[in-house]
A and B are shown apart, each in its own frame.
Chain A
Amino acid sequence: MSSKSPSRGALLVTSATSVLIFLLIWETACRSGLVDPIFLPPPSAILGKAIAMGNEGTLLANILASARRVMIGFLAATAVAIPLGILLGTSVFGRAAFNPILSFLRPLPSMSWIPLSLLWFGITETQKYSIVFMGTFAPALVYVIEATRNIDPLLIRAAQNLGASRWNVMKEVILPGSLPQILSGLKVILGLAWTCVISAELVAAREGLGFLIMNGKEFFQTEVVVLGMVLISVTVLITDLCFRAIENRVLRWQK
């Protein structure tokens, strides 16, 4: 009996079929009256809404609005967290100095920053970016510090032995060496950034997926709510794939 491991095609078909079956059950449950559409709309209603919004042009506008806020906040947080994290990862005193602040910031959910951010930035897009930033900065920093400290100390020694200054060690060894771990941590942080955007869009937003969900809820348009959720999932999936592509390019050297 030959033990053949299943082909990729077979696995793909299995996944697709299970999704289809799930959607069918869902659709029938709603149509048969088993589930009140106010509480859970059928997939057909959600698709219908998506098409309607697509024709209006609002679908893409909402996705892009949220995506923009996520990206800017996330990139800002990363831009600060990576260099700062590498610095702190290499300095015992730096860590001792920064740890109290970090421990204070880390557990704060992004929503708790809304009142302060409104005072500081008013009802602007900057206020939204700041929510995403505050929600992702501390965890990103922790990831970078961890990744930095996980570098094989032998590599640092080798670099020093080859004449690298403290600055060069950070730039030429620690940065590229910790990149794999940083990038995998950033994937998680990106997902986190999306949850921040939702809470950011609770106040003073006119478009965006979080706004879509909140507004749909106000008018009991549950299919809009679910559509918003689906769109968030899909968008995160797509950004994840892009991330992977970047990872593969940058981390070519890993087998």
Chain B
Amino acid sequence: MDITRRQFIGGAAATIATMATGMPLGAAAANPTIKYGGSAWLGHYPAYLAMTNGYLKEMQLEQEWQSFGTSSSRMSAVMAGGIDIACTGVVSALALMARGAKQFSIIAIPENFGRVEGLFVKGGVKNIAELKGKKIGVTFASSAHLLVLDLIAKAGLKADDITVLNVPAPELPAAFQAGQIDAAAAWTPQFDLIRKQPGVTLLADDTQFSLYKSFNVTPGPDVLIVRKAFAESNATAVKSYLTAYFKATALLRDHPAEAAKPLMKLTNLGEADQVGAVKGADWYSREQQAGLLKGQYVEGLQKLAELLVAHKQIDKAPAVKDWIDPSFI
């Protein structure tokens, strides 16, 4: 699960230079390059837009975009020092936090995407109990996975009552269409592709997640993280990054059609679908960050960690607030 975030990082590029591949040490204050880990997931829209619409350049920053297929591979790159800023599904971050990894901090919450992730069914299935004995395809260790587990638990079924299969996101549409699985849980852009298939209905989306009503937390909310070593030597750059970043979220919130155009190159969605995807999320502003990073939302993330423990996805729940760093907002 990726969340696109943009963080403005100003200041010395020296730290980046030592970590980067062949960056000259002399490229000091002028246009430091931030290595961002992204993908076609909507959480990365702000970071992408900040790059394509020149907001980063305005803040004298350059961004190098690297694509990752999974959250875990992205987080591994962060741990190894190859990525400086990334939006990530909090589940991967929580898994690392549960292991006591101190290499990164959470610096912003980009959006809330309750309606672009969900469970699809065919043939007029009305509730999840009808899927007993059938196969659900979902990418394991993702927010969609947790949604499925949560839905099954809420329906009072046992884990073994339904066969949950690990299917990588890009394979889901084809597998579902071919009837190899009876239900598919996906996020955008596969979400949009599956919705278009004939006879398909959306059984539930993230708004049905048990923590959503009380904490407004989806099964795998996005968080924007920064590599601590990078942030310590480039604090100004990080702040500048966030400025450009939230300029992009403002565009996404207020002018979705305009924001959609450059994004189509990232996602390969058609224009209508792209606008729909943009509108499917609530884009937060810079002003909202203070409230999010300190209050109920963090508590919701903590509950999420506990839920993961309950579903045996991670071993223990870390104290989420220990990783939150609101100093850059």
Given contacts A204-B165, A206-B166, A221-B315, contact A38 B79 (CB under 8 A): yes
Question: Which of A118, A205, A206, A219 has the most C-beta atoms of chain B within 10 angstroms of its own C-beta?
Answer: A219
Of the listed stretches A151-159, A168-176, A188-196, A210-218, chain B binds: A210-218
A222: chain B residues within 8 A (beta carbon): 99
CB-CB contacts of A201-232 with B at 8 A, as 1s and 0s?
A: 01111100001000101111110000000000
Partner of A38, one of B101, B163, B181: B101
Give CA–CA (A38, B72) in the complex, Å. Answer: 13
A118: chain B residues within 8 A (beta carbon): 171, 174-175, 180
Measured CB to CB, the residues of A under 8 A from B are 36-38, 118-119, 122-124, 202-206, 211, 215, 217-222
**Contact of A220 with B164 in the complex, beta carbons under 8 Å:** no
Task: Give the interface residue-count category, chain B.
Answer: 20 to 34
A211's nearest neighbour on chain B, judged by CB, is B166
Given contacts A203-B166, A204-B166, A215-B141, contact A220 B95 (CB under 8 A): yes
Within 8 A of A (CB), among B153-179: 163-168, 171, 174-175, 178-179
Q: Does B57 sit at the interface, judged by CB under 8 A?
A: no
A119: chain B residues within 8 A (beta carbon): 174, 178
Give CA–CA (A221, B174) in the complex, Å. Answer: 30
A215: chain B residues within 8 A (beta carbon): 140-141, 166
Given contacts A38-B96, A123-B175, A215-B140, contact A220 B166 (CB under 8 A): no
Q: Does B70 sit at the interface, judged by CB under 8 A?
A: yes
Give CA–CA (A14, B164) in the complex, Å. Answer: 48
Q: Does B224 sit at the interface, judged by CB under 8 A?
A: no
Q: Does B216 sit at the interface, judged by CB under 8 A?
A: no
Measured CB to CB, the residues of B under 8 A from A are 70-72, 75, 79, 92, 95-96, 98-101, 135, 137, 140-141, 163-168, 171, 174-175, 178-181, 313-315
**Contact of A205 with B166 in the complex, beta carbons under 8 Å:** yes
**Contact of B175 with A219 in the complex, beta carbons under 8 Å:** no
B301 to chain A, nearest CB (A): 17
B168 to chain A, nearest CB (A): 6
Listed by A's residue number, 9 A-B pairs whose Cβ atoms lie within 8 Å are A37-B99, A38-B100, A118-B180, A122-B179, A123-B137, A203-B168, A206-B164, A218-B141, A221-B99
Give CA–CA (A185, B140) in the complex, Å. Answer: 37
Give CA–CA (A38, B102) in the complex, Å. Answer: 11
**Contact of A204 with B178 in the complex, beta carbons under 8 Å:** no
Partner of A123, one of B99, B167, B313: B167
Give CA–CA (A215, B140) in the complex, Å. Answer: 8
**Contact of A219 with B180 in the complex, beta carbons under 8 Å:** no
B17 to chain A, nearest CB (A): 24
Give CA–CA (A204, B184) in the complex, Å. Answer: 12
Give CA–CA (A203, B166) in the complex, Å. Answer: 6
